[in-house]
Chain A
């Protein structure tokens, strides 16, 4: 009788937990595609309120000129216009999910200004995402120009 009750509790628990875990991993790629669209839109609109939410507190950015910025510096540069995105068309998006971490690589057709220098061309970018308190946050962004 005692073991029956324990078995019943475990069954109920797995019925509750398994579909939840499954739905979260199953949706991860879709969630991350949305996050990339949101961060791209925020950069294009210089929407620093959205960036504040999308970027983790310890976020780092490495831009095409090799400069490294913290979250505060990145947001300040977007606010001041030192970083300005005019076009960012994502091509070849690849998403890899490792539990609560995801690595997203993309080829981007870019036009904009970095540290006052305007530039247009093709870039390869990687964003690393970590799920924190149920929400994906971008912890690392790096972009490299593709040599012509």
Chain B
């Protein structure tokens, strides 16, 4: 009788926990894809409120010119208008999930400026690393490299 009760508890527990864990893993790719789209849209609209939510506090940004920015510096550059994104077309997107981390590599057609305000257009490869923190995916690393023509 005692073991039956324990077995019943385990069954109920697994019925509750397993689908939850499964749905989170199953949806991770879709969630990360949506966040990548949101990040690009926020850069194009200079929507610093959304950037503030998407970027982790310790986010590091390496742009195509090799410049390094913290979260505060990146948001400051977007706010002041020195860093502009007028076009960012996703041409290729690959997502790899490792537990609570996602590595997203993309090929993009970019038009805009560097963080210091120099106009630039061309094709770049960008890697974004997202880490799930307290149930929300946050961008911890962004790096862009220009593709030689």
Contact = CB atoms under 8 A, between A and B. Distances in A.
B127 A144 contact: no
Contacts, number: 98
A143 to B, nearest CB: 7
Given A62-B127, A66-B125, A103-B141, A94 B60 contact: yes
Main secondary structure of the interface of A (DSSP, over half): strand
Main secondary structure of the interface of B (DSSP, over half): strand
Contacts of B148: 65-67
Interface in B43-63: 58, 60, 62-63
B145 A142 contact: yes
Interface stretch (B3-11, B28-36, B92-100): B92-100
Given A96-B140, A142-B143, A68 B105 contact: yes
Interface size class for chain B? 20 to 34
Given A66-B123, A140-B105, A140-B127, A101 B100 contact: yes
A139 to B, nearest CB: 6
B101 interface: yes
B134 to A, nearest CB: 12
Contact of A124 (B66, B100, B125): B66
Interface of B: 58, 60, 62-68, 94, 96, 98-101, 103, 105, 107, 114, 123-125, 127, 129, 131, 140-141, 143-148
Q: Which 3 A-B pairs have the closest CB atoms?
A: A66-B147, A146-B66, A101-B101
24 contacts: A60-B94, A63-B145, A66-B124, A66-B147, A67-B148, A68-B107, A94-B60, A96-B140, A98-B100, A99-B101, A100-B99, A101-B100, A103-B141, A107-B68, A126-B60, A126-B62, A128-B103, A130-B98, A140-B105, A142-B127, A144-B64, A144-B146, A145-B66, A146-B66
Interface of A: 58, 60, 62-68, 94, 96, 98-101, 103, 105, 107, 122-124, 126, 128, 130, 139-140, 142-147
